[in-house]
Each structure stands twice: as C-alpha cells, then as structure tokens.
Amino acid sequence: MSGNGNRAATAEENGPKMRVIRVGTRKSQLARIQTDSVVAMLKAFYPGLQFEIVAMSTTGDKILDTALSKIGEKSLFTKELEHALEKNEVDLVVHSLKDLPTVLPPGFTIGAICKRENPYDAVVFHPKFVGKTLETLPEKSVVGTSSLRRAAQLQRKFPHLEFKSIRGNLNTRLRKLDELQEFSAIILAAAGLQRMGWQHRVGQILHPEECMYAVGQGALGVEVRAKDQDMLDLVGVLHDPETLLRCIAERAFLRHLEGGCSVPVAVHTAMKDGQLYLTGGVWSLDGSDSMQETMQATIRVTAQQEDGPEDDPQLVGITARNIPREAQLAAENLGISLASLLLNKGAKNILDVARQLNDAH
C-alpha cells in the first residue's frame, strides 16, 4: 500500500499532465511532412507542450478526375480542416499557403506564415528525356500540369509543347509520369519536391521570365480560430517577417484582381534594401494575351509598438501582431496598387474571358 502511495505522490510532484495541442493536416505524404516540420518548430519553442497530429481527407483529395480549375470550389483543400477547427476537434491546421483563399470564412485566420522555401516551379522529366529542357523536348511533347497559371505562361513561351491536366498527390503524379507513356515531363512546385527529398528528380527550375509562381507558393500557413488569442500567441512566433510581407502583397494583388485557380494569375516578389518589389501578371488561357507590371514600396520593419488590440487585425486573412502594422499595410497597399494598375490597363477583360472559357469547357 505504502509503495502505491509513494508512486501517486511522485506523479503529483511531477505536476499536471502535459497540455496537448491537436494539429490538423491533409493525409498526403507531403502534407504530413510539412505538418511535422511546423510541429518540430513549435516543439523547439514550447518543449513543455505535446502535439497530436490529426490527418483527414479533403474534397480536393477525393476528386481526382477533374482539373482543379473546373471544380469551382475555392476551399478545395481546406474546408474539411476548417470544419474540424470550427468544432474544436483541432487547435490549428497546417496548409500550403497557396491553397488558402485570400478571403477566409468568418471565424478563421492565418496565425503564422513560416519562412518560405524555393517558390519556383520545377520540371521533372520522363526517364527517357532526362537531360532535356522544355526548350529541347521534341515537337508536340505532352507536359502535365494541374495549373492554368503554369499552362498559360508555358504555352506562350514553348509553343511547340502541348499541356495536359494531371491530378493526384506528388507520389501519384510522379508514378503517372514514369509508368505511363503519356507525359514527357510534368511541372511541380520545387518546394514540394524538396520537402519530399526528391531534388534529384528536378531537371529544370523555371525562373520568373519563363514562369512566375503562384501567390504564396513555397510558404506554409498555420490557420487558427480568429478569436483564439491563446493559439494566435502560440503560433505567432513562427511568422517570418520577409515571407509574411511578400505574401501579404501577393495575396492583396490576387484578392483585388478577384483571381483564383480558375484564372491564370502569377507573381514574383523580392525584398531588397528596405524595398519590396512585386511583379504580377495575368494571362489568357492559351497564353496568347497577357499583361504584367512591376511596382515597389518602401517597407520599414522596426520593432512593433502595439497600443492595444485592434478590432480587426487581419489583412488578407492573416493576423500578425508581432510584425509592424505599418509594414503590413504598406505591403497590402502595394498589392492593391499593382492590381489596380493592371485592371486600369484592361486586365479585367483578359480574366473575364479566361473565366468564361474555363467554365465553358
């Protein structure tokens, strides 16, 4: 009896049970790797917390026979995860930032944007074309991509190639490339290939003059309940200031254009000597019509002085109380200004036609 009593006393002395933070994620291997990397960063900040990963399938994971742009759903890869967040089944959710719409459903916010990895697109070639580039592929070679943005830009640049939709997670797409004789190459985000440890499959990196990237590409976003101050404080330490400001500008540009995955919109951002540079473009579906411009803004990232919480601290769905508000607003204004410039020059017509054609096919 006395032995049991001692054990109980020891347990009491060890203090309360570790708090468990439940982290939602998609089930794919890449999603799990990305979530594990975020959890590892959080564990480094909070060694006293425990993290439990809750994996689930989303609509986008289930509908694999239709091009993403045709499904017409803005939250393809996020809805089920947000549902779990809403019902308090998870405390936070890890996403690829490019999957998160620029307008989030009420009650949610992006509480952290982690340091961006390589945002560019990469070409993976069929084994028989290893050593080639898109330029040197044979006439009428078929290149697989699930993205209108990539197809529009690359059709314009490489008119000798044909572009065809390819769906599925990274493992599935690579298997389709290697085992079917349908595709000569496929285009994927370089960051995903890096995270999977498949850099050796990258045959070519596409630079901005060939193919600008998607808004938020290469960055991970952590979504939480907008009013959950405890979680906002917990994940806020993961914000990478430069990535955050670049992505605010990119998301503001896309939101003001009212773009989405049903129209080809692409960006490129850079931060240098206190200047944030944003290049944005829009394309017709076949790439024959396009428009792009570059603007810059001065961004001062000084220590944040918060007088008190604001009514709505969100900008393009992102909450970052630990990053200077002035810098965030400057980044948002840059995105809006560039979108306005393109709209004034006729970008709306290009986007409207692209949307109508995409809906019709």
Q: Answer positive or negative: Cα dihedral of 192, 41, 110, 56.
A: positive
On whether the CB atoms of residues 265 and 150 are closer than 8 A, the answer is no
Structure tokens at 95: 């996403």
What whole-number distance in Å separates Cα of residue 327 and Cα of residue 329? 5
What whole-number distance in Å separates Cα of residue 204 and Cα of residue 116? 20
**Which position among 99, 233, 240, 289 bears the catalytic label?**
99
H or E element in which residue 327 lies:
helix 325-344
What whole-number distance in Å separates Cα of residue 342 and Cα of residue 282? 8
Task: Name the β-bridge partners of 26.
Answer: 56
**Is 293 strand, coil or helix?**
strand
Task: Name the β-bridge partners of 236.
Answer: none
What whole-number distance in Å separates Cα of residue 316 and Cα of residue 270? 19
Half-sphere exposure of residue 133, counting CA atoms within 13 Å on the CB side? 9
What whole-number distance in Å separates Cα of residue 314 and Cα of residue 312? 6
- Beta-sheet strand order (sheet of 290-298): 265-272, 275-283, 290-298
Residue 99 among the catalytic residues? yes
DSSP state of 87: T
Residue type, 195: R
Catalytic residues: 99
